[in-house]
């Protein structure tokens, strides 16, 4: 297996987080559906689609690193598995929509950080595909973080702070 540079490793991590985000948005959408929050379900479905597109675009870029695609995708699968473990630890049968959104807030913040790091590494590496990927993906990731935070706060604004949870 080929050794990866920092840039290639970070690309793999971004792809893996996009994979994990698909499972996370699907799980939280299920919670939102059960809590009868159709607008939130719609928003989560859009995020799911954008995560799927990020994965596809990332895989295409991974293919431009000669002899490294398999190693980059191995890194992606490892990150996806770690994300699944984190979600399984954080969300259980007792979890509600707010719990799901809190998990997504952490996950989306992590994604934003990884995308920013990938973009920063690429300022010096100057890979045109990575530049295009991060120019497309970073604003989307920032919007995802803003949206899940806003949705969490909207739920909190409609709940009684002294109620038993």
pLDDT at 2: 81
* Of residues 117, 115, 109, the one with CA closest to residue 147: 109
The domain containing residue 143 runs over which residues?
Answer: 6-157
pTM, whole model, 2 decimals? Answer: 0.95
Q: pLDDT tens digit string along 130-157?
A: 999 999 999 999 999 999 999 999 999 9
The answer to whether residue 1 is domain-embedded is no
Q: pLDDT tens digit string along 20-65?
A: 999 999 999 999 999 999 999 999 999 999 999 999 999 999 999 9
The answer to whether residue 17 is domain-embedded is yes
Helix, strand, coil shares, percent, the chain, to 5? 80, 0, 20
Q: Return d(Cα 80, Cα 12) in angstroms, integer.
A: 10
Q: Return d(Cα 42, Cα 80) in angstroms, integer.
A: 23
Centroid of chain to Cα 54: 9
pLDDT at 163: 84
* Of residues 79, 74, 78, 76, the one with CA closest to residue 2: 74
pLDDT surpassing 80 at residue 165: no
pLDDT at 86: 96
Q: pLDDT tens digit string along 115-125?
A: 999 999 999 99
CATH number, position 145: 1.20.1260.10
pLDDT surpassing 90 at residue 164: no
pLDDT surpassing 80 at residue 1: no
Task: Give the number of domains in the chain.
Answer: 1
């Amino acid at each position: 297996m080929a050794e990866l540079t920092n840039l290639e490793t970070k690309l793999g991590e971004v792809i893996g987080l996009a994979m994990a985000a698909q499972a996370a948005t699907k799980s939280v959408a299920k919670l939102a559906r059960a809590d009868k929050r159709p607008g939130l379900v719609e928003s989560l479905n859009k995020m799911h689609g954008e995560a799927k597109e990020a994965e596809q675009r990332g895989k295409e870029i991974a293919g431009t690193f000669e002899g490294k695609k398999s190693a980059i995708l191995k890194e992606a699968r490892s990150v996806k598995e770690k994300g699944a473990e984190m979600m399984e630890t954080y969300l259980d049968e007792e979890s509600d929509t707010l719990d799901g959104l809190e998990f997504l807030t952490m996950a989306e913040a992590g994604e934003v950080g990884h995308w920013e790091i990938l973009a920063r590494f690429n300022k010096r590496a100057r890979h045109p595909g990575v530049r295009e990927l991060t120019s497309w993906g970073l604003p989307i990731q920032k919007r995802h973080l803003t949206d899940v935070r806003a949705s969490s706060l909207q739920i909190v604004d409609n709940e009684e702070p002294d109620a038993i949870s």
